[in-house]
């Protein structure tokens, strides 16, 4: 039997901002542009939004402050912060809220100034070295060193090489070269990656993810309503979550991420067999 959430909700509007370096802006200012663009894409006014799904680093009461800033009055809010997967979590929460009738128009939005304002300040950026009571006192250069520890363990267990790891950055760059919004689009070789400055062994600067300012927003409605919107709807067929740990030393197995659980859940919901 098909999962209740399969195809229950669809994205009917998407909004993006420029990405890269957006100095002089707050995260909410960046997010506002994304929300404006998503509403315009869907042909909706903000007062039609009755569900709001967001997350961020700079505000203690993020959901409250974001609702206030954007002048929303939602019936449902989820501002759970579970790191980089927060917005997949938002997608799942939005679909559940739509399916149960808790809301009809769900807005998912995020904006960051982590690049131009990494330490926060007024309006908040996103601090990469948030306080972990049993790790921060060792001054780990997070998030890089946590991924470096996982990579070192993977190399130890599977014989993975520096060249194998560098291929990840090279592949990402090839995708960037096809993306007009991407910031770094020059050719990149495995040698370039290996020869750049070491940051946290085994990762060099060019192994590391670019930190970018930018924002994005999406609007979901029920499958029944989706047909009434100007853009072709994108139906949510499968979504999955799994949460295990925050501090890297607490990760049950450094070579197996929680995606090994969430991925199969999403495929199962969608009714898509894994190859």
Partner 1 sequence: MANLNDSLIADPGPEAVFRDGLTSGKFIIQKCGDCDSHIFYPRAMCPECGSIKLTSLEASGQGTVYSTSVVRNRPEQGGNFNIAIVELAEGPRLMTRVQDIEPDQVQIGMAVEAFIGAIDDTPVVLFRPAEG
User: Taking CB under 8 A as the rule, does residue 23 contact partner 1?
Assistant: no
Q: How far apart are CA 81 and CA 197, in angstroms?
A: 32
For partner 1, give the closer residue by CB, 137 or 224.
137
Contact between 139 and partner 1 by CB under 8 A: the answer reads yes
Give least dist CB 112 to partner 1, A.
24
For partner 1, the closer CB: 174 or 205: 205
* Residue whose pair of structure tokens reads 């400055």 in the numeric block: 197
- The Cα 92–Cα 269 span in angstroms is 12
- Residues 6 or more apart from 243 whose CB is under 8 A from it? 82, 258
For residues 120 and 58, is the Cβ–Cβ distance under 8 A?
A: yes
Span near partner 1 by CB under 8 A; candidates 6-14, 70-78, 119-127, 138-146: 138-146
How far is it, in rounded angstroms, from Cα 41 to Cα 14?
A: 6
In the shown chain, the binding pattern of residues 105 to 134 toward partner 1, with x for contact by CB under 8 A and - for none, equals ----------------------------xx
Check binding of 138 to partner 1 (CB under 8 A): yes
The answer to whether residues 144 and 208 touch, using CB atoms and an 8 Å cutoff, is yes
* 133 versus 187: smaller Cβ distance to partner 1: 133
Question: Is residue 200 part of the contact set for partner 1 (CB under 8 A)?
Answer: yes
Residues 37/217, Cβ–Cβ less than 8 Å: yes
Instruction: Reply yes or no: is the peptide bond before residue 41 cis, omega within 30 of 0.
Output: no
| C-beta closer to partner 1: residue 75 or 205 | 205
Interacting residue with partner 1 among 12, 30, 254, 270 (CB under 8 A): 254
* C-beta of 108 vs 148, nearer to partner 1: 148
Through-space distance between the first and last CA atoms of the chain, rounded to whole angstroms: 21
Q: Which of 119, 141, 181, 227 binds partner 1 (CB under 8 A)?
A: 141
Q: What is the distance between the alpha carbons of residues 202 and 160, in angstroms, rounded to a whole number?
A: 11
Number of residues that bind partner 1 (CB under 8 A): 26
Beta carbon nearer to partner 1, 255 or 261: 255
Q: Applying CB under 8 A, does 213 fall inside the site for partner 1?
A: no
Does residue 81 touch partner 1 according to CB under 8 A?
A: no
Put residue 257 in one of left, alpha, beta given phi > 0 → left and psi -120 to 50 → alpha.
beta
The yes or no reply on residue 140 touching partner 1 (CB under 8 A) is yes
Q: What gap in Å lies between CA 74 and CA 89, rounded to an integer? A: 18
Instruction: Name the token pair of 259.
Output: 């995606």
Decide: is 197 part of the binding site for partner 1 (CB under 8 A).
yes
Binding site for partner 1 (CB under 8 A): 133-135, 137-141, 145, 148-150, 152-153, 156, 197-202, 247-250, 254
């Amino acid at each position: 039997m098909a999962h209740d959430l399969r195809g229950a909700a669809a994205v009917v509007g998407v909004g993006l901002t420029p990405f890269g370096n957006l100095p002089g802006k707050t995260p909410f200012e960046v997010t506002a542009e994304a929300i404006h663009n998503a509403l315009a894409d869907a042909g909706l006014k903000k007062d039609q939004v009755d569900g709001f799904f967001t997350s961020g680093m700079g505000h203690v009461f993020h959901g409250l402050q974001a609702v206030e800033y954007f002048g929303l009055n939602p019936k449902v809010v989820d501002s759970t912060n579970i790191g980089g997967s927060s917005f997949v979590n938002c997608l799942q929460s939005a679909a559940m809220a739509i399916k149960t009738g808790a809301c009809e128009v769900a807005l998912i939005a995020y904006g960051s100034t982590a690049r131009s304002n990494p330490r926060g300040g007024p309006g908040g950026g996103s601090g990469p070295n948030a306080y972990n009571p049993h790790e921060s006192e060792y001054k780990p250069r997070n998030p890089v060193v946590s991924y470096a520890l996982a990579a070192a363990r993977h190399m130890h267990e599977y014989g993975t090489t520096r060249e194998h790891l560098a291929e990840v950055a090279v592949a990402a760059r090839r995708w960037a070269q096809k993306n007009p919004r991407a910031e770094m689009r020059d050719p990149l070789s495995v040698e370039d990656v290996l020869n750049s400055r070491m940051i946290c062994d085994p990762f060099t600067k060019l192994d590391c993810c670019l930190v970018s300012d930018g924002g994005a927003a999406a609007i979901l409605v029920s499958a029944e309503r989706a047909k009434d919107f100007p853009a072709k709807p994108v139906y949510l067929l499968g979504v999955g979550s799994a949460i295990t740990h925050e501090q890297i030393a607490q990760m049950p197995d450094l070579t197996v991420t929680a995606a090994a659980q969430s991925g199969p859940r999403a495929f199962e919901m969608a009714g898509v067999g894994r190859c």
